[in-house]
Structure 1
């Protein structure tokens, strides 16, 4: 076990107090992190998911290309869609897997920004409180992982949702894994409170662009496919609150799918390491714009009027681009 100085322990205590009270401020019960947009008013970030394998399964190669793209786009931060550490999350705050799969892999200068991360189902198989602990920020100050929270840049708000407790199968013995459900029981109450807080936060949002990030898919044609519990309980809230994009991992692929009942675009970025070649269903659906069954990641560039989404493979090649536009509103006196 590593030893820490008195100053480090004081920092740990301070982080614990800050996170316990709510970092910066809160909307409903969701902690909010604030980003100031660039001088030109724009915002850019990368999205990667399902990555933590100590550099294996091309994780290091994806990280290298993320660094190059991050430099070109001058990114503001990175979003992780969960399953941050395989196979079973972290064992403690001192688990070397944190540094071996994160700190020592994402070393590019452009990636030394905040990493905003949600938990995936594999993370729930470990010590969840360890992965959520502000103590990890002493080891690597980039790391921010909470169950559900908001990133607010004025131009865009990104709402991070803890989707694993929605999935009923994870609570059954037959599923074959042990999950750390501390702070989740009873799940019905936990989910109800989470959805209420999200709905309030979305309704209060005045951001030009609204993103919701979770680990599990609402729509996917990959291995796991759609998550019925999210389609029933989460999707109606997103549709009612004019959400522009739902972003997730879980399926180890890259996808872009439209919603047939609203303007929501479903974006899957779960290809940070191990991919599932050929594991696809219903590829020819008219609402499926893009599917790729290899490793890669995604970038997002936002202005007041444009949202540019780009998917890259493990070599940094552009696989797919999509653009959404909004009119810029001008007020007159």
Structure 2
């Protein structure tokens, strides 16, 4: 009940002051979790944070999606862990970023205490992590159009990786019952979802050309759901780059975005042959540049995602139509 109230209250708060707007605007960043020793951050993370702040101020974004690996390399120990300040509060300091952050856990977070990250929601004004998985629903200002975001714990669904290196696949869920419960929740959340745009978000990618490649567990179980319920897009991190892939099945098109360069950049394209032919639309992994993130704007007519480099350079944009 507490979780439902949290989401309900946040929706109420978000509705305030948007009457003059005509779009819903927000950011997304993955794999942003600094370092476990001083200075507890990286040049890429601080650069991306600065660029996010400028973008948030320019477009008056309302919230940020954080796609896991929030604290490298072993998560946090407890709710009083200094990493919350050293890697989050003291890094994303721009006034425009003092808006709600909605988080999911990554594989590195699951090496530590994810429940402490959830508990930290009670200590931070902007850190919103109410449960391992949860829904977010927004109305696009000045319209009846809506955006539904379903935040997943892909590690709970698929298991953790052992070595987190080239091609390393999750080893299967630690708790089958919890995984099945989350799958059932997701299908139920999609089944009667009439939102104009649906985003499903989690840490592991469904498909990726990079170091880790497609996640077999998600390809097998999640991917069919995305088409069955005409999901607009899937957001992920895990691979440390920016990717856009698009796959059409049975006259349904789903866009897959990897947004995993908030702290590191990895140029690997080791799995380019493992994704559907022609699906790759964009890939960025310039190790000479300071990472990147995504800016998303939704109107009743279209939802556009833009990749932005950590120096503020716009890299790529793609627009998606509402669900039919």
TM tier relative to shorter chain: 0.7 to 0.9
Change (3 A) 1:210 1:257: same
Q: CA deviation at 1:280?
A: 4.3
Q: CA deviation at 1:60?
A: 0.3
- Alignment check: 8 A CA contact 1:32 1:150 kept: no
SS at match of 2:15: coil
Match of 2:137? 152
Match of 2:154? 163
Deviations 1:152-189 (A, max 9, x none): 1032010001101233564xxxx269xxxxxx986221
Match of 2:80? 94
Please state if 1:36 is matched with 2:15.
yes
**In structure 1, distance between residues paired with 2:9 and 2:248:** 31
**In structure 1, distance between residues paired with 2:160 and 2:62:** 36
Please state if 1:310 is matched with 2:306.
yes
Alignment of 1:235-314 (within 5 A): 235-261=223-249, 262-282=252-272, 285-294=277-286, 295-314=291-310
Deviations 1:194-228 (A, max 9, x none): 11111111122221110000000001111101000
- Alignment check: 8 A CA contact 1:23 1:33 kept: no
Match of 2:49? 63
Q: Could you tell me the TM-score, scaled by structure 1's length? A: 0.82
Structure 2 stretches lacking a partner, 5+ long: 35-39, 140-145, 165-171
- Alignment check: 8 A CA contact 2:135 2:148 kept: yes
**In structure 2, distance between residues paired with 1:202 and 1:124:** 26
Match of 1:122? 108
Change (3 A) 1:156 1:49: same
Q: CA deviation at 1:293?
A: 1.1
**In structure 2, distance between residues paired with 1:169 and 1:65:** 31
Count of residue correspondences: 293
Match of 2:315? 319
**In structure 1, distance between residues paired with 2:182 and 2:43:** 34
- Alignment check: 8 A CA contact 1:209 1:244 kept: yes
Q: Could you tell me the TM-score, scaled by structure 2's length? A: 0.84
SS at match of 1:215: coil
From 179, 192, 199, the equivalent of 1:211 is: 199
- Alignment check: 8 A CA contact 1:117 1:144 kept: yes
Change (3 A) 1:25 1:100: closer
SS at match of 1:298: strand
Q: CA deviation at 1:25?
A: 7.1
Deviates most, 31-40 or 237-246: 31-40
